[in-house]
Chain A
Amino acid sequence: AQSVTQPDIHITVSEGASLELRCNYSYGATPYLFWYVQSPGQGLQLLLKYFSGDTLVQGIKGFEAEFKRSQSSFNLRKPSVHWSDAAEYFCAVGADSGYSTLTFGKGTMLLVSP
C-alpha cells in the first residue's frame, strides 16, 4: 500500500523568502503525485500534479515541485512567499487500485511572518 510522509508539521517563513515543503512517498510503481492547499475552514485546492514527463512541475500561484524517483520525494517550492500563502499543504499519492483515490500526508502548516 502507498503512503506519504510530510516530515514538517509546521514551518515558518518570512514574507519574501523562499519556501520548500518536503514530501516523501512510498509506492510500488510510477506514482501520481499531488500537492493540495487548504485554507482555514475550506476544502482542498489542487496546486499541481505529476504523473510522467518532466520531473519539474509548474503549478498555480507560483508553486513548483520536483519529482525525484531516487529519493522518493516530491518537494514543493516557491521562490518568494506571500502572506496569503499561509495555509496547510498536503502531499498526496494516487492509489494503486487504479481509482482516483488519494492517500494524503498529514500536512504541513505554513506560517508566514512579516
Chain B
Amino acid sequence: KAGVTQTPRYLIKTRGQQVTLSCSPISGHRSVSWYQQTPGQGLQFLFEYFSETQRNKGNFPGRFSGRQFSNSRSEMNVSTLELGDSALYLCASSYTAGMGEKLFFGSGTQLSVL
C-alpha cells in the first residue's frame, strides 16, 4: 500500500506570492491533517479534514487555508507569503479522525520564502 504522498517536495517562493501544497493520503484513509515544522516552533498543528469537512483548526492566521476533495486528497494554500512561512509542511492521514488515531506522515514539502 502506498504511503502518504506530498507534492512538490521542495518549493521556493518570494514574499507576497501564494502557494498550494498537495497531499494524497493512504488509500482508504479519510482524515488528513497538516502540520508546520520549523526549527524555532517545532511541529504545530494547522488543520484537520475529514470527509471534506474541516473538523479542527490550529492557531494560524487566515492566510493559511485548506480543503479536502471527495477522493480524500487535500490541498493547503498559503497566501501573501511571509519569510516566517518558510518551513517543512507535513501532511498526515488516518483512517478516521478519532482521538488516539494513528497518524501516517508524508515526507513533507519544504517551502522556502525569499
Interface set of A (CB-CB < 8 Å, partner B)? 32, 36, 41-46, 49, 51, 90, 92, 94-95, 97-107
Give Cα distance in the complex from A104 to B98, angstroms: 17
The answer to whether A49 and B45 touch across the interface, beta carbons within 8 angstroms, is no
**Pick the contact of A32 from B31, B55, B99, B106 — CB < 8 Å?**
B99
B interface secondary structure, majority: strand
Is A100 a contact of B33 with CB atoms below 8 Å?
A: yes
27 inter-chain pairs at a CB distance below 8 angstroms, sorted by A residue, are A36-B105, A41-B107, A42-B108, A43-B4, A43-B105, A43-B106, A44-B90, A44-B103, A44-B105, A49-B100, A49-B102, A51-B100, A90-B43, A95-B56, A98-B99, A99-B48, A100-B33, A100-B97, A100-B98, A100-B99, A102-B43, A103-B45, A104-B35, A104-B43, A104-B44, A105-B42, A107-B42
| Bound Cα distance from A104 to B88, whole angstroms | 15
Closest to A107 in B: B42
Q: How large is the interface on B (under 10, 10 to 19, 20 to 34, 35 or more residues)?
A: 20 to 34
Which B residues fall within an 8 A CB radius of A?
4, 31, 33, 35, 42-45, 48, 55-56, 58, 90, 92, 94, 96-108
Bound form: Cα–Cα A46–B93 in Å:
12
Complex: chain A residue closest to B98, CB-CB: A100
Q: Find chain B residues with CB under 8 A from A49 CB.
A: 100, 102
- Knowing A94-B100, A95-B56, A107-B42, say if A100 contacts B105 (CB, 8 Å): no
